[in-house]
């Protein structure tokens, strides 16, 4: 059983949180929602609400086996938080799974973990991913060492499949 962190803030893409979160839990893994603060409601773009269980200041990479970053507007708020960036950087340094869909790779960009990797993302941040040193691929899911990325909600089945493969 893996311990999986979900990074969340207001404005996340509802299905990109809900579907991977439920799939990871159903597969028997332990999930923790990490936000900018502890015990704060995070509201999705279409009204789904999750409550953060831990604040970014309280987490260490050694406590988790994987990190998943849903897209939408949340990654923009997460990427400017030094503790979130530190956490993702530390997870990467330990070669643990980091998965981001849609705008999720924005957090990876700020943590400087995409250089030399292959990645995909929402088309609007494609140039940012390239400038971060990644080889951009316009594919439903890209697995590059410990990094998994996908583009949009329609790619969720492939995104979830690859996450569950890495966690098994």
61-112, pLDDT tens digit by residue? Answer: 999 999 999 999 999 999 999 999 999 999 999 999 999 999 999 999 999 9
Catalytic member of 29, 42, 102, 121 = 102
Average pLDDT over residues 138-160: 98
* Number of residues that this document lists for the chain: 168
pLDDT at 156: 98
Q: What is the CATH number of domain 3-167?
A: 3.40.50.880
Token pair, residue 101, equals 């869909």
Instruction: Decide if 102 is catalytic.
Output: yes
Supply the angle between the helices 156-167 and 14-26 in degrees, to the nearest 10: 30
8 confidence band (pLDDT: 50, 70, 90) = very high
Residue 123 per-residue DSSP state: G
In the chain, what are the domain boundaries?
3-167
pLDDT at 159: 98
Strand bridging mode 97-101 / 141-144: unpaired
Q: Please, which residues have CB within 8 angstroms of residue 29's CB and are 6 or more apart in sequence? A: 1, 2, 3, 4, 167
pLDDT at 126: 98
Average pLDDT over the chain reads 98
pLDDT in tens, 11-43: 999 999 999 999 999 999 999 999 999 999 999
Place of tokens 């499949």: 161
For residues 30 and 92, is the Cβ–Cβ distance under 8 A?
no
Instruction: Decide if 121 is catalytic.
Output: no
pLDDT in tens, 128-138: 999 999 999 99
For residues 119 and 142, is the Cβ–Cβ distance under 8 A?
yes
Q: Model pTM?
A: 0.98
Q: Please, which residues have CB within 8 angstroms of residue 141's CB and are 6 or more apart in sequence? A: 120, 148, 149, 150, 155, 158, 159, 161, 162
Which residue from 168, 147, 163, 165 is spatially nearest to 20, judged by alpha carbons? Answer: 163
């Amino acid at each position: 059983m893996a311990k999986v962190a979900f990074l969340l803030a207001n404005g996340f893409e509802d299905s990109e949180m809900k579907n991977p979160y439920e799939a990871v839990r159903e597969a028997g893994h332990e999930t923790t929602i990490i936000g900018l603060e502890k015990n704060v409601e995070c509201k999705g773009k279409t009204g789904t609400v999750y409550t953060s269980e831990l604040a970014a200041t309280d987490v260490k990479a050694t406590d988790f086996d994987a990190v998943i970053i849903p897209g939408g507007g949340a990654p923009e708020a997460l990427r400017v938080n030094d503790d979130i960036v530190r956490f993702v950087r530390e997870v990467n340094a330990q070669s643990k799974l980091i998965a981001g869909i849609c705008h999720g790779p924005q957090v990876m960009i700020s943590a400087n973990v995409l250089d030399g990797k292959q990645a995909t993302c929402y088309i609007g941040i494609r140039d940012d991913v390239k400038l971060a040193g990644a080889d951009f691929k316009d594919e439903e899911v890209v697995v590059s060492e410990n990094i998994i990325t996908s583009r949009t909600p329609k790619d969720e089945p492939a995104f979830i499949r690859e996450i569950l493969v890495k966690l098994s």
